[in-house]
Structures are given as structure tokens and as C-alpha cells.
Structure 1
Amino acid sequence: MNEFQRRSAEINDLLCVLNVLNWDARTQMPAGGSGARAQQIATISALAQEKLLDPAYGVSAQAVSGDDLDNRAAQQALDAIAALKRIPAELTRELALLKSEAQELWARAKGANDFQMFAPALTRMVELNQQLAEALGYEGHPYDALLNMYEPGLTVETLLPLFEQLRVHHVPLLQAIQQQQQPRSDFLNRSYPAAEQKRLSLALAKGFGYDTGRGRLDESAHPFEISFTRQDVRITTRIQENFLSGALFGTLHETGHALYEQGVRSELSRTVLTSDLLGLYAVAGASYGTHESQSRLWENRIGRSRAFWDLHYPQLQSAFPEQLADVDTAAFHRAVNTVRPSLIRVEADELTYDLHIMLRVELERALIGGELAVRDLPAAWNARIKSDLGLDVPDDARGVLQDIHWSAGMFGSFPTYTIGNVMASQFYAAALEGLPELENGLLRGEYTPLREWLTDHIYQHGRTYTPHELLERVTGRGLDPQPYLEYLSGKYGELYGLDRQKEQTT
């Protein structure tokens, strides 16, 4: 057991080093450093894989005979070893090299609004992920192999019916909302100094319980959370001076991720149960969907609630007295919950957000399956935005180039955002049942009971349980969209008066 723990700790250290290199590349590294950084990341990735595939590590894992926690860690290591043995070392190295180079190319292409600048790197990324899927193996669609890297057990066969169930609910609700008068939101696009946005965003994150003694807030082109053990969990946000809610809710979203990582039991640090060995990432969540459930829960269920802004809107007005002089709490709350189809996923409202995810999943599934060529991707993207959201895409920067995920090789990760939305409502319903006074406390700004309940039931376990096991333990059932659908119908029915209108009609 000691030998297994020692070797696992070394692998986790290397994965944390990779996270440091990636954090720096996305926040502070000059553009000229991208080539050398790609080589550094490839080298560390190869070292981590070598240690993981060292026969002595497998022997030490097989020799473990301890408690349930020890046995789970050993089995996860053995499963990762078996999967990685199927992946050629050269493929791993080429993917690591390309990820770093492609992300820098993506950033430049997005800035220049030039998809063709990024297309060759994306074409190669698709090819390498197709090879990865073949190496990992699958029974149905090659996309299944990639899905399982982020959400164990998820397949195209199980995912598409879930999407259809959501679409059947979302589209009629969206159409009903679009027939109502929309609230004003022009004030969100006034000029808000970046430094004050950042200060206020961090203050709200700390109010949720984000420990800045073990974290920090920086800026990046695409918001993200990243951890180098539970003692160093960092978040970033994207600040635009003419879009107030972007930085605020981007920060609250990443805070949810950070609370998960900071809540892991200290005993799990530097173990398999805080490492995604197959993906070669240092991440502690049970799955990407489970992780996303926490960012969506804190951002939306708490951060967009009327109770939250009844308490915190005075802070916002104090920070921006001129910009918000003609805006009261009710108007602000309505504005940040407006349902309006938009081009940008990370700025989408809760209802149309899933439609963005479905679009991306369909396109990347077709790319991996060989049914869609990269050269045809912008046209396919624009057509889907038009059919699903009724919008014309003015340029690639606000279209096919808006997300970092494909440049980072994260094919198969997009579905986890919607999976996270569904899980978030299930977990929140379970918290309400376990904490009868929860919502009364939230009215007073008492966020500790919810955070501690989530820590006890979810965060502390790291990767100990599969997402399905965790859902069963916490909620008593597997993935169930019903609480999520009820939440959306209730929230927007009230905000847009749909329930009253229905009563008047009947």
C-alpha cells in the first residue's frame, strides 16, 4: 500500500505541474512562449504516462488489500492503466504538443476573426481524437469513447434521448416567453470599470466561501478553474467593461468549481482519488458533469436568485452608483434572468444554454464520426444557430471560434454542461430535503449550511465514487431531469407571468 501511495503521489505531482503550466499559459504567458510551453507540457505529460504505465505501479496497485477507499483507488489506477496501454505513446505526445499550440492559434484566430487560421490545427485535432477513440475502443459510436473520458457510463444512445426530453420542454417554454414583454437590460451594457468589477466579483465569491488563502482570481480569455491540490485552487473570469453580468456570473460559476476542489478531504491529496489518470489532469470531481453541477448550482440557483440580489444589490449600486442610479433590485434581478437567444454560450440564459450545448454536441459528434469536415464546420454552425435560436451569426469570433474546448482537444466534454444542469437540480432538491431551513437562511445570506452540506455529501469524496454512485447516494436515484424541468418551468413561469396567463386562459 505504501508503494502504491508513493507512486500515486508522484503521478499526481506531475499532473499538478501540468496544471500550473496550463494556468500560466492561459493567464500570463507571452504569446511568444507558446512553442516552448508546448514542448514542456508534452514532456511532463509523457513523464506522467511513463510513471502510470511502469509495470511496478500496476504491481503495487494489484497488491493493495485495504479498506474500501484503498481498493477503489487501486481499481481506478488499474482501469486507467488498462485504457492507457491501448493508446500509443506517440499519440499521447502529439496530442499534448498540439493542445498547447492549438490553444494559442485559437486565441489569435478568434482575435482576428479568421477561422481559416485555426482550421489546419483543428483538422489535426479531430484526426488525433478519432485515433484516440479507436485506441480506447467503443461498442456504438466512436464518440462514446471520448464521452467516457469526461462522464463515465455516458453514451450517444443514452445522451440523445435526454437531449430530446429537454428540447421538448425547452422549445415551447422559450416560444411562450418570447410572446411576453421582455424586461429592460440596457443598463448591463453601460461602462463598468474593470478593476471594480473584479473587486466586487471576488467579494461575492468569498461570500460563498471561496478561500483566497488557498486561491486567487485572475483574468483570461475564457473563464476557468484549475487546482494544484486543494491548497491552491485558482479561478479566472473574463471582464468586459460594457458587460457587467459577464464577469459577475462567470466568477460565481468558477467559484462553484473551486468550492468543490477546496472541499476535498485533505487525506485524499496526492492520491488517485484527486487525479483523472486517463485524461492526465489533476481534478478531484467524480466527473465533469458532477463538477459542472456545482458551478451551475452556485451561479444560477443561488447567484441569480431574488434572495441573493435583495441582499447584495446595494453592494453593486455602491460600486457603480452612476451606472445603476435608475435601476432597482427587481429590475436588475429580472435583467440577469432574461430569456433571450444569444450568440455566446457563456452569456446565455439558463433556458437557451442547453440548446447551445446540444448544437456543439451534434457538431463534434459528426466531426468525430467523419460525417462533417472541419472546412464545413462554420457553415454547419451558422445553420444550426439559425434553426435552433433564430439568429444570424455575424462572424466566426461570435460563432464557431467562441469556445476554447476544441483547441484543447476536449471532444466529449460539452455534454457534461447539460448533465451538470440536471444534476444541480437533483442535488439542490436533496439539500432542501436535508436542510428544511435552508431557504430561510439563504434569505439572510447564510451560505455556509449549503456549502457544508454539499461538502459532506459531495465535495469531500473527490473521485471516490462514480457519478452514478454519487447521485444514488445523495438523491436516491440516477440521472433524472424532472427536478431541473420543474425548476425552469417554475422560475420562468413566475418571472414572465406564464402561470397567471394560463390561469386567466382557463
Structure 2
Amino acid sequence: MELYQSFKTYLKEYMTLDSFIHMLVWDQSTNMPTANAQYRGEQIGFISKLAHEKLVDPQMGRLLNQLVPWAATLPADSVEARLVAEVAKEYEKAVNIPSSFMEKFFGHTARVYQTWVEAREQNNFALVSPLLRESLQYSKEYASFFSGAAHIADPLIDRSDEGMYVHVLQPLFQNLRTQLVPMIEQIRESEPVDRKPLLQHFPKQKQLQFIDVVLDHLGIDRTRTRQDFSPHPFMIRLAGDDIRMTTRIREWEVTDGLFSSIHETGHALYELGISSELFDTPLMKGVSSGLHESQSRLWENLVGKSREFWEYFYPKLQSVFPTQLGSIPMETFYRAMHHVSPSAIRTEADEITYNLHVIIRFDLELDLLTGKLDIVDLPEAWRERYKTDLGVDVTEVKDGVLQDVHWFADFIGGQFQGYTIGNILSCQLFEAAKSAHPSIIKEMGHGQFDTLHRWLKNNIYQHGKKFSTTEIIQRATGQSLTIDPYVKYLTEKYQTIYPTLQTS
């Protein structure tokens, strides 16, 4: 159909503008001189305005008016039908938002990000708090464009996790919290696990040497990816076959850089697996932050922190660090890696306590958006929640409200729920993959991940945003979202390390 081809051409122009924004964001986070923050903000803001104007152009409206009835005659799961439906949905949202707002906000976020970097280095929340207050106002203004929302946070959540609104997430998180808190209390009754094997000097270049070996085994495509460094690791697609990852290396902790790299590789594998048929369209991305995060957490935790993984890779790590690890048995190293102890830093949290970090941030977002909490009081509210929920004293803001980049690079609201949704889904999907291919665990012990990768690509990756998160879960697992496989995984795994942990 000629009209559909015109539609695809128009979308390619829109997606090209979007890719320019991604390039500027990646460069800002990796290579850009810090003095350029103001100008970079103007660049990002201007292109964001152009992209938004392209999406809401009357020509797009006319195309959709003709294509929507045509798409309704096609098979419901065809690419054409799904693409028209997705663009129509994005168009209906976008027409509510003035282009001038998009330009101002994204220009603002570039400035906030650079100020956050400085504030974090200086441990000085006051340096960035005025800009964060502006971000909160922008967030509220964005939510106001969608007057029918049940909760002010719902339009913000909808940007990354469509359908996972406050009325869904609050009971889900509460249910999970009631499972996790007793587990933490029971683990405290066991003898602490010694982390010292991990806390030696491991030179950066040698860590990177080992990380490269691991990523090659996981199936990363070096012709389509690149890894650099940033204060907060991330993955971003610059264009169809251009996936960028960043990591960080700590020379006095051997697994931080490794798991950071595996985590971002999980995101990259998802993006690399999307069908080229969806390139240059809004379907060329993961369907939601929760499903995307399920892949980074699956590869990081269920694969990278599994006993089978280390049965294969630990001798290789010992050969890279013979002085540090040569005399340390694999079981000792494995136990050290699974040390459970509440801490201040989300990205360093163990699997048992991690989701409490997310729930705290989610609750604080809601309080900020509803006016229950003021920006100036955010550091103290953060400290109180960490003391109450995790028993941790957060004494410095760089380890508190300044530790995560999210609120300083985007809206406030809808920024963290995807991490916990991803943790839950990672186990649900992994169970389905093992059920389909029982050989997966044995293969992991031989450093082979092709069967798992292929199942994930066939059931999740290739579809991009063609199907909703709910549809993907149902198609891949035959179930709706459930926390049961996740709680089962945590209990069974950590019982082998902490005998006092009881079966749920």
C-alpha cells in the first residue's frame, strides 16, 4: 500500500531525529567536556522540539486517519497493524504536549545532569536542588496534560511501563515487601558471610580482560556494540545497528565492574535481538522498562551469579588474578558474592534487599508529586526511610539522594518501578525457558548460553514493541505477572548460604 510506505518514510525521519538525541545524550555521559553543559542542553532541547513537532504534524494526523481503518482489516498481530496502532497511540499522547514544553524540559535535563555530576562529586545537594525543584514542576506539568489519569504519577509511569499504574504497583510492592522483610530478618540470624575474597586489589585492565571473555561467551556482537565508561552505567541504542554500553570498574572490588557489564549486556542483547523489520519505527525498542530490566537482571543474577556460571568461569578468573584468588576455593568465592547485608547503595545491593531500595524511591516519588514532600526535605526523608526500612544510616547525600542519576536526567516519577518489575519477570521468564529447554542449566556450567539466548530472542527480543508487556508475558510463560517464581528463586538459592532462611 503506497500510503503505508509514505507513513514508513515519515516515521524514519522522526526516528532519525530521535537517534540524534540519543547520540548527544551518550556523548554527554561519556566524552563531553563539562563546560559544554549549557550548549548541549540547548542542542538536546532543540532536537527534542523538532522530533515532537514531527510526530504531531498535521500530515501525521492525516496519514493516521486513513491508515487506522485500513490496519483494522489486517491480522491483529501483523507488523503493519501493530505499528499503526502504536503510532496512533503515541500521536494521541503527543498532541496533548506543547512542543515548547519538550524543548524547555529536555534542555533543562541536560543542565541538571551536569550539575548532578558536580554535586555528587562535592557531596552537595544544595548545588543541584534548585534545578531538581524545576524538574519536579516540569513533572507535574507533564502529568497535567493527561487530565483523566487516576493518579498524578500514572502519566509518568506510562512513559516507560504502560499499564503498571499506581493502583497496580502499590499492592504488588507491598506483597513483595511482606515476603522480603522476614527473609532479611531470618538471614541476620545466620553467621555472616565473609566478603574479603572480593575486596582485594584487582587492576582495571585485567578486570576488563576477564569481562571481555565473559561478554563474548554471552553472545555480544562486537560489530554492533561498543562499551565505554560513565559514572552510572547504561545502555542506549544510537541507531539500528549501533548499541552503546557503559560500565565502571572499581579496582578494590572484583565483581562490581563484571556485573555492571553483564547487566548492560542483558539490555544490549535485547536490543540486538529486535527484528530488523522493525528498524526505523517506534517498534524498534524494548516494550517497557520492566521487561527490559528483566533481561539485564536475568543475565546478571540468574546467569552471572549462578553456581553453574562460576563453575566454568572461576578457574578463568583465577588465572587472571592468581595472587588474589589462586588459593581461594570456588565455594568461598561464591558465598562471598552472595553476602546479604542492607546497604545504602542500590546498585551494590544484594538480591534480597535490592527491591526495598526501589520501593523507597517509588514512595518518595509519589510523595514529591502529591505535595506531601518538598525538595528541600528530600535528603532527610531519604535518610529516615533507609533507617526505618533497611536499618542503614545514610550520612552523606552522595550515598543518598544523589546516588542515582534518574531524577537528574528525566522526569520525577516512573523512574524506578521497572527495576522491581524486571526482577520479578526475570525469574518468571527464566523458569519458562528452563521448562522449554531443561538443558539450559547444564549448558551454563559449560559456558554455553546459546539455547537460553535463542529462547529469549524467539519469545521476547525479536518482537521489540510489537506486543505489550502483558502479551509478551502471557505468550512466553502462559501466565500473568506473578511474584511466586521470584520468591521461590530467592528462597531456594539463599537457603544454601544462610541455613536460618525458611521456606515460604
Instruction: Give the TM interval when normalised to the shorter protein.
Output: over 0.9
Which amino acid in the other structure matches residue 422 of structure 1? I
Give 1:272 deviation, angstroms: 2.1
d(CA) in 1 for partners of 2:146 and 2:408? 21
| Equivalent in the alignment of 2:441 | 439
Give 1:189 deviation, angstroms: 2.1
Give 1:497 deviation, angstroms: 2.1
Matched, 1:31 2:34: yes
Structure 2 residue corresponding to 1:208, chosen from 192, 196, 218 = 218
Give 1:134 deviation, angstroms: 0.8
Contact 1:137 1:145 survives alignment (8 Å):
no
d(CA) in 1 for partners of 2:66 and 2:433? 39
Which amino acid in the other structure matches residue 361 of structure 2? R
Give 1:37 deviation, angstroms: 0.9
Structure 1 residue corresponding to 2:111, chosen from 94, 97, 101 = 101
Contact 2:307 2:334 survives alignment (8 Å):
yes
| Equivalent in the alignment of 1:306 | 307
Mapping of 1:364-383 within 5 angstroms? 364-383=365-384
Give 1:58 deviation, angstroms: 2.2
Which amino acid in the other structure matches residue 442 of structure 2? N
Structure 2 residue corresponding to 1:477, chosen from 469, 476, 479 = 479
* Pairwise CA RMSD: 1.3
d(CA) in 2 for partners of 1:380 and 1:199? 42
Give 1:180 deviation, angstroms: 0.5
Secondary structure in structure 2 of the residue aligned to 1:236: strand
| Equivalent in the alignment of 2:337 | 336
Matched, 1:252 2:252: no
Matched, 1:239 2:241: no
Deviations 1:159-212 (A, max 9, x none): 111111111110101111111012211232222111222222232122111111
Give 1:319 deviation, angstroms: 1.5
d(CA) in 1 for partners of 2:318 and 2:147? 55
Q: Larger deviation: 199-208 or 140-149?
A: 199-208
Q: Larger deviation: 131-140 or 387-396?
A: 131-140
Contact 1:492 1:498 survives alignment (8 Å):
no
d(CA) in 2 for partners of 1:135 and 1:371? 21
Structure 1 residue corresponding to 2:10, chosen from 3, 7, 10 = 7
TM-score (norm 1): 0.95
Contact 2:177 2:356 survives alignment (8 Å):
yes
Give 1:156 deviation, angstroms: 1.0
Please list every run of 5 or more consecutive structure 2 residues that lacks an aligned counterpart in the other structure.
Answer: none
Give 1:61 deviation, angstroms: 2.8
Which amino acid in the other structure matches residue 273 of structure 2? G
Structure 2 residue corresponding to 1:44, chosen from 47, 50, 64 = 47
Give 1:230 deviation, angstroms: 4.0
Contact 1:138 1:144 survives alignment (8 Å):
no
d(CA) in 2 for partners of 1:481 and 1:175? 20
TM-score (norm 2): 0.95
Deviations 1:1-25 (A, max 9, x none): 0111001111111111111111110
d(CA) in 2 for partners of 1:260 and 1:473? 17
Mapping of 1:155-234 within 5 angstroms? 155-234=165-244
Secondary structure in structure 1 of the residue aligned to 2:326: coil
Mapping of 1:50-449 within 5 angstroms? 50-64=53-67, 65=70, 67=74, 68-274=78-284, 284-410=285-411, 411-449=413-451
Which amino acid in the other structure matches residue 495 of structure 1? I
Which amino acid in the other structure matches residue 18 of structure 1? I
Which amino acid in the other structure matches residue 26 of structure 2? W
Contact 1:230 1:261 survives alignment (8 Å):
no
d(CA) in 2 for partners of 1:199 and 1:99? 35
Give 1:339 deviation, angstroms: 1.0
Which amino acid in the other structure matches residue 353 of structure 1? Y
Deviations 1:394-415 (A, max 9, x none): 2011111000000012420200
Which amino acid in the other structure matches residue 38 of structure 2? G
Give 1:248 deviation, angstroms: 0.7
d(CA) in 2 for partners of 1:116 and 1:137? 33
| Equivalent in the alignment of 1:280 | none
Secondary structure in structure 2 of the residue aligned to 1:235: strand
Secondary structure in structure 2 of the residue aligned to 1:16: helix
Please list every run of 5 or more consecutive structure 1 residues that lacks an aligned counterpart in the other structure.
Answer: 275-283
d(CA) in 1 for partners of 2:31 and 2:427? 36
d(CA) in 1 for partners of 2:388 and 2:154? 26
| Equivalent in the alignment of 1:490 | 492
Contact 2:407 2:415 survives alignment (8 Å):
no
Contact 1:196 1:319 survives alignment (8 Å):
yes
Give 1:138 deviation, angstroms: 4.1
d(CA) in 2 for partners of 1:324 and 1:118? 42
Deviations 1:440-475 (A, max 9, x none): 222212101100110000000000011011111111
Secondary structure in structure 1 of the residue aligned to 2:246: strand
Which amino acid in the other structure matches residue 53 of structure 2? E
Q: Give the total of aligned pairs.
A: 492
Secondary structure in structure 1 of the residue aligned to 2:353: helix
Contact 1:202 1:217 survives alignment (8 Å):
no
